[in-house]
Amino acid sequence: MSQRANPFGPVLTAMVTPFDEQLALDPGRVRHLADHLFTTGTDTLVATGTTGEAPTLEHDEKISLWRVLRDHLTQTKRGKLIVGTGSYSTQATIQLSLEAQNVGVDGLLVVNPYYNKPNQEGLLRHFEAVAEACNLPVILYNHPGRTGVSLEADTVKKLAQHPRIAGIKDSSGNLAFVSELRANCPNDFLIFSGDDPLNLPILAIGGDGVISVASHVAGIQIRQMLEAFFAARNDEALQLHLDLLPLAQGLFCAPSPAPVKHALNQLGVPVGGVRLPLTELTTTQQTQVEALLTPYQAVTR
């Protein structure tokens, strides 16, 4: 299958937020992690999303993190930066999105409004309001398991007509839904897998890339899988996907991002711990995650 034009590349990483030993934002570790990700296959960083512990970050911490990343990417001339700005409030989402635009990020990831469970008309108007207020590409983020509400295909079809709504990260686990999107949205509307165990299936029904957690550890192998798929080397792509499956599943043995942060710390990419209400892994969970890392030690140290 040929690739659609995609300004963000096929490998996007849902980046963890590195903390120091006191769980404060650590700019040095942020830069180190960014370098690690770009070196191992990432095209675009996606900061302050779920994996970035956005709900635990203060407003000023988000701005500081974005500035550190924007400056570092400018200095190193590597990759692009998308940031998560979505919340349950449309006005708050617009305000944070405008602040992200002022920092100079390359795009916005906007999650379904959570907790208050809007209907489809509310979702439609929410995303349209954000896209109208900003001049950046907007990636919709559909994750019903976390937000309690799901975009419907007809709603996404309408949103996809907006010139600044560029695509969707889908974490619904619903391949029929993704198929409907590919069948009914414009050809240039980008579809990203937001669930590593479904990366290859979503590519097979018209996906354009991944917004991955596992790419923190296995970015090289994920890129190899994508390249094999787009070059129609289907058996190779399938084998790489199956080889990655234990890692993709194991990194969710506890609430994310605790497992992937533990993995990075073990692999010599220090990112610190997680903030409450998340907790560190149990000894059993640590052993489980560490057992998955052997194939990836050589490329990350």
Does residue 190 lie in a domain region? yes
Q: If you search the block for the tokens 């695509």, which residue do you land on?
A: 167
Domain range for 187 is 11-236
Looking only at the bridges linking them, the beta strands covering 107-111 and 138-142 are parallel
Query: Which stretch of DSSP H or E encloses residue 234?
Result: helix 234-250
Domains in the chain: how many in total?
A: 1
Instruction: Check residue 300 and give its pLDDT.
Output: 46
Does residue 120 lie in a domain region? yes
Does residue 292 lie in a domain region? no
Clarify whether 169 is annotated catalytic.
yes
Does residue 278 lie in a domain region? no
Exactly one of 62, 141, 261, 296 is catalytic; name it.
Answer: 141
Q: CA-to-CA distance for 55 and 21, rounded, in angstroms?
A: 20
Clarify whether 296 is annotated catalytic.
no
* pTM for the model: 0.97
CATH number at residue 148: 3.20.20.70
Most distant pair of Cα atoms in the chain: their distance: 50
Other C-beta atoms within 10 Å of 224: how many? 18
Q: CA-to-CA distance for 218 and 224, rounded, in angstroms?
A: 10
| CA-closest candidate to residue 140, choices 118, 105, 175, 167 | 167
Instruction: Check residue 3 and give its pLDDT.
Output: 76
Sign of CA dihedral 197, 200, 203, 205: negative
Q: Average pLDDT by consecutive 10-residue portion of the chain (301 residues)?
A: 84 98 98 97 97 97 98 97 97 98 98 95 98 98 94 98 98 98 97 98 98 98 98 98 98 98 96 98 98 77 44
Does residue 108 lie in a domain region? yes
**Per the structure block, which two tokens stand in for 178?**
């993704």
Alpha helices in 49-152 (DSSP H): 59-76, 90-103, 120-133, 144-147
Q: CA-to-CA distance for 207 and 224, rounded, in angstroms?
A: 16
Does residue 244 lie in a domain region? no
Instruction: Check residue 279 and give its pLDDT.
Output: 98
Does residue 159 lie in a domain region? yes
Exactly one of 62, 169, 261, 296 is catalytic; name it.
Answer: 169
Does residue 103 lie in a domain region? yes
